[in-house]
Amino acid sequence: MSSTSKGFLPAIPALVLLGVFFLYPVIRMLGFSIETGNLDWYAKALGEGLYLQVFWNTFQIAVFVTFFCLLLGYPLGFLIATTTPFWATMGFIFVLLPLWTSVLVRTYAWMVLLGRNGVFNRMLIDAGIVADPLPLLHNLTGVLIGMVHVLLPYMVLPVYGAVKRLDPSIVAAAQGLGASSWRIFWRIYLPLTLNGIFAGSVIVFVLSLGFYITPALLGGGRVMMIAVLIEQQVRETLNWQFAAALSAVLLGFTLAVYALAQRAMRPEAAR
């Protein structure tokens, strides 16, 4: 008990910081949403087809992005954690590079690559693989590619950490006991890195929910996510009460996802 209270003291500046720069704005925002003294704006956010549809779109896209990040990020994190130091460094540079580049630049780079006359399509056509350019941009495909690219590091890092934490002698033991690489993966690596998978998935999912620039630019206007609507309400329509209500709904949804993930993770986390 005393160790907990002692451990609490150094955390005070961080807590104050969180309180001032995070908690207070959130409370202010929640205040805005009920400024009119009733829940009308919530009724609008949750009652009108347009907003429900956009919430649902946002959720779907977040699920897709999480799925593809996992599909790419797990093997990538796994390889980086198990390869030689040189390749691990190279892998890290390539995975982290997008984090150091502005979202706008990255997004424009994808436009150059994925367009009808972009590098990708020209290569495919020149190689005779397709006759007409593939629609890779200005649709859901483009948005998913762009978002997965931006969010991939958030999946790779937790997976990398989970694999690194695994005692190598456990893997050696499984080998010695007659397990093939495939069975080692399924019976040892996968269950013992579930924590990393969960953590990565939650981070990617939650970040996906708030995405704004990438869907607007790579979706050709067709892919509408809730952050775009919130931004419209704040900057154009100036309806801050409604913007706050939409944000509160998004926040509530995000917290619910987080809580569910926490619960799912608990038996594993006790390790």
Query: What's the chain's length in residues?
Result: 271
Cβ of residue 57: shortest distance to another protein, in angstroms? 8
Q: Which residues sit at the interface with another protein, rule CB under 8 A?
A: 49-50, 53-54, 57, 108, 111-112, 115-118, 137-138, 167, 169-170, 172-180, 183, 187-188, 191-192, 216-217, 220-222, 224, 229, 232, 234-240, 271
Cβ of residue 259: shortest distance to another protein, in angstroms? 24
| Residue 129 vs 177, nearer CB to another protein | 177
| Residue 206 vs 250, nearer CB to another protein | 250
Q: How wide is the angle at C-alpha 117 spanned by C-alphas 106 and 58, nearest 5°?
A: 45
d(CA 65, CA 154): 12
| Residue 175 vs 254, nearer CB to another protein | 175
Cβ of residue 26: shortest distance to another protein, in angstroms? 16
| Residue 239 vs 254, nearer CB to another protein | 239
Cβ of residue 17: shortest distance to another protein, in angstroms? 14
Cβ of residue 23: shortest distance to another protein, in angstroms? 18
